[in-house]
Amino acid sequence: MNVLGIIPARWASSRFLGKPLVKIGSKSMIERVYKQSAKTLDNVIVATDDMRIFEEVRRFNGQVVMTSEKHQSGTDRCYEALKVFQKETSQKFDFVINIQGDEPFIQGEQIKQIIGCFKIPDTQIVTLVKKITEAGIVFDPSCPKVIMNTKSEAIYFSRSTIPYINATKKEDWFDKFTFYEHLGLYGYKSEILSEITKLPPSSLENAESLEQNRWLENAFKIKVVETDHENISIDTQEDLDRIIEQGFID
């Protein structure tokens, strides 16, 4: 099983410009994500559209490819990077893992969970979810929620609280139902990655601003795996300051 981990990394983040190069202790964000991922995966590359990020990855001897500035999503960038890297190395990868470039403490166990699903023949796309343990998150639109079927496949992703708990006060919802949040780690069969990047934006995707709803709306199956590990994302300078205060830096 040939698996390629790809870390999309762009400079022009609207909330945190130049985020991949921000220092977290002695290492840049992108170096931390790369080296954490490389503990589990034999093949990891950074896919960027900026020479500053490209040079930083080369500095710490990582693998990196330049991609277009025009991509609308990390998924699109992953597919271009897959094609470029396969051509450059004459290798063929059966599966791709899309690793978020702003999660410097990603757990190897989470990557292994994704890889485990690749052994199931009908797997197209895989992602992770985590049981919500704080009532406030249930109503937070910045935290996408997901509902699943009995085969552990996603039915729908939403920034709203799903499902709606009928005939119950909102303050009691958390105690009446087990809600799940979506974590942004994805795995794809390579041929499926090729197909989904050709799809036009969908109405449900645009409504929620959640790319994965485009795939569901076009009848692709997203297998869902539950993890107990908390993801620590750094989206803003405030997030970084909080991480430093809490002593996460080695």
Domain ranges for the chain: 1-101, 118-231
CATH architecture of 118-231: Alpha-Beta Complex (3.90)
* Alpha-carbon dihedral sign for residues 17, 84, 209, 175: negative
Confirm if 31 and 56 have CB atoms less than 8 A apart.
yes
Predicted confidence at residue 25, as pLDDT, reads 87
Predicted confidence at residue 248, as pLDDT, reads 64
167 — alpha (psi -120 to 50), left (phi > 0) or beta?
A: left
Chunk the chain into consecutive blocks of 10 residues (it has 250) and report each block's average pLDDT, rounded to whole numbers.
Answer: 96 81 92 98 98 98 97 95 98 98 94 96 97 96 97 98 97 97 97 98 97 98 95 82 72
The top-level CATH class assigned to 1-101 is: alpha beta
